[in-house]
Amino acid sequence: MKVKTFTIILFALLLLNTTSIDVYSIVGQKEASSIVVGPFTQNTRLNSILVIWETDIPTSNNEVHWGLTSDLGNVSSEKYEFFFQKQNLHNVRLDGLIPSTKYYYKVISDSIESKIYSFHTTFERNNTVRFIAYGDTRGVWDNWHHASIVAKAIEEEQPHFVLNTGDLVNNGTIKEEWYNFFEASSFIHNSTLYPVLGNHEYYATPYFKYFSLPNNERWYSFDSGPIHFIGLDSNYRNVLRPAQLLWLIKELKTNDKPFTIVFFHHPLYSSGNHGSYIPLRFLWGTFFQLNKVDIVFNAHDHSYERGKVLNVNYIVTGGGGGPLYDVGSSWWTVYSEKTYHYCLITANQSKLTCQSIKPDGSIIDSFMITK
C-alpha cells in the first residue's frame, strides 16, 4: 500500500514538474515581443526628429540608440505620462541634431532590438535634396505584391524622404491593412514619409495614430532644401472649407523658396478612369498658377500622366501598387502610361529634375525646371 501511495505521489510530482515547465515555456513565449510596425521617422526638422515603432505587446523599456556613425553612441528613452506605463506604440523624439545630416539609429523595446537604419534631418536652403513622390499603394487586391516591388525600387534609390499622394491602404479602418502597408514599404525605415489623405483612408484613427505631421495633419507644409512643400486634403469633408483655402493662399503668398511643390490625392488634370476634379481645378488651380507653383502631384487614377498648364506641371502618380487603370491623353497631356512607377526628384537652388521610373529602372518621362 505504501509503495502504491509513494508511486502515485511520485507520478503526481513528475506531472506537476512537467506541467510547470510547459507553463513557464508558454509564458516565456507570450513575453517575447516583436516589432510589428517600424521603426520609422516622422516630424523631421532641422535639429530634431520623431522615431515611431509598435510592438506586439506592451513594453516598458523603450529606447532609440543613435549617432553619426553605425556605432551609434547616444541613447534617448521614451518618456511616460506616469511613473510606470507599458504601451505598444512608442514615440521618441531626438533633439540637438545637426541640419542636413545623415544619422544612424536602432530601437530597443525590452529584449527586442531592431536593425540599424538611417535618417536625414531637414536640409537647409542651400543644400540639394533627393526625394520620391508616388501614391495609391493599396495592395490588398494582390496581397501587396506590386506595392512591395515598387517600394523595393524606391528603397534602392535611397531618397532623403518620400511623398505619398494618398490611398496608402484600401480601407483605413482595418488595422491589418496598415500592418501590411508598413511591412510592404521597405524604404520607410530610412526615409521619412509625408502622406496626404486619400479617399480610402476614411479619416480613420490608424492614419493619425501612425503619422505625426505638421499643422493639423490634414493639410500642412514643410521646407526641405530649396523647396516649399504643401500637402492638402482634397476629400469632400475638407476640400471646400474656407479654412483650408485661406491657409493655402497664405502659404503660397509667404513662401520665399526657389521651388514650390503641392501634393494631394484628387487630380485637377487627368485622362484616367476617374478623370479631372473640375471644380477644384478652377479653385485651387487658379492660385497655383498665380503663385507660380512648379509641380502638383496627385494620384486617384492608377496610372502615370504629366500635363502642363500655364507653366504648372500636373503629375498623376498613382502607380504605387494598386490595380492599374487605363489612361488616355488630353489637350494638357505631355506623357501618359498605364504602369507601376514612382517619381524621383532632385533639386538645388537653381535646378529641379524629375524622372518618372518603372520598378525595373527604365525611365518613362523626365523634365527639368530652372530658376
pLDDT in tens, 219-239: 999 999 999 999 999 999 999
In a shared domain, residues 239 and 365: yes
**What b/e readout covers 228-246, taking b as 16+ CB neighbours within 10 angstroms?**
bbbbbbbbeebbeeeebbe
Region 150-169: mean pLDDT is 98
pLDDT of residue 19: 36
In a shared domain, residues 159 and 58: no
| Domain presence at residue 22 | no
pLDDT of residue 86: 78
- Report residue 154's pLDDT band, with 50, 70 and 90 as the boundaries: very high
Taking Cα atoms as reference points, which of 133, 130, 98, 117 lies closest to residue 51? Answer: 117
Look up the pTM and report it.
0.90
| Domain presence at residue 326 | yes
Is the model more confident about 143 or about 13? Answer: 143
pLDDT of residue 85: 67
Q: Give the CATH number for residue 322.
A: 3.60.21.10
Whether the per-residue pLDDT at 281 is higher than 60: the answer is yes
| Domain presence at residue 21 | no
In terms of C-beta density within 10 A (0-12 exposed, 13-18 middle, 19 or more buried), how is residue 253 classed? exposed
Strand 351-357 with 112-113, pairing: unpaired
* Distance, CA of 192 to CA of 173 (rounded, Å): 23
CA-CA distances (angstroms) from residue 10 to 1, 7, 20, 333, 354? 14, 5, 15, 85, 78
pLDDT of residue 82: 58
| Domain presence at residue 29 | no
Whether the per-residue pLDDT at 187 is higher than 90: the answer is yes
* Distance, CA of 24 to CA of 349 (rounded, Å): 62
pLDDT of residue 79: 86
In a shared domain, residues 272 and 316: yes
In a shared domain, residues 210 and 154: yes
In a shared domain, residues 215 and 304: yes
- Report residue 162's pLDDT band, with 50, 70 and 90 as the boundaries: very high
In a shared domain, residues 77 and 166: no
Q: Report CA dihedral (22, 27, 32, 33) to the nearest 10 degrees.
A: 140
In a shared domain, residues 97 and 143: no
| Domain presence at residue 27 | no
CA-CA distances (angstroms) from residue 51 to 41, 93, 107, 146, 326? 5, 6, 9, 27, 39
In a shared domain, residues 42 and 70: yes
pLDDT of residue 289: 96
Q: Which of 67, 102, 120 is the last residue of a domain?
A: 120
Query: How many structural domains does the chain have?
Result: 2
Reported as a single tens digit per residue, the pLDDT across 46-83 is 999 999 999 999 999 999 999 999 999 999 999 876 55
pLDDT of residue 149: 98
In a shared domain, residues 283 and 332: yes
Q: Give the CATH number for residue 106.
A: 2.60.40.10
In whole numbers, what is the pLDDT of the chain averaged over residues? Answer: 91
pLDDT of residue 10: 40
Region 365-371: mean pLDDT is 97
- Report residue 334's pLDDT band, with 50, 70 and 90 as the boundaries: very high
| Domain presence at residue 287 | yes
Whether the per-residue pLDDT at 26 is higher than 50: the answer is no
In a shared domain, residues 107 and 158: no
Q: Which of 60, 85, 120 is the last residue of a domain?
A: 120
For a pLDDT cut of 90, what percent of the chain falls above it? 88
Q: Which of 93, 120, 147 is the last residue of a domain?
A: 120
In a shared domain, residues 109 and 151: no
Region 121-125: mean pLDDT is 98
Region 295-315: mean pLDDT is 98
| Domain presence at residue 354 | yes
Strand 112-113 with 304-309, pairing: unpaired
86 lies in which domain range? 35-120
* Distance, CA of 98 to CA of 90 (rounded, Å): 23
In a shared domain, residues 243 and 106: no
| Domain presence at residue 331 | yes
Contact 365, 353 (CB under 8 A): no
For a pLDDT cut of 70, what percent of the chain falls above it? 90
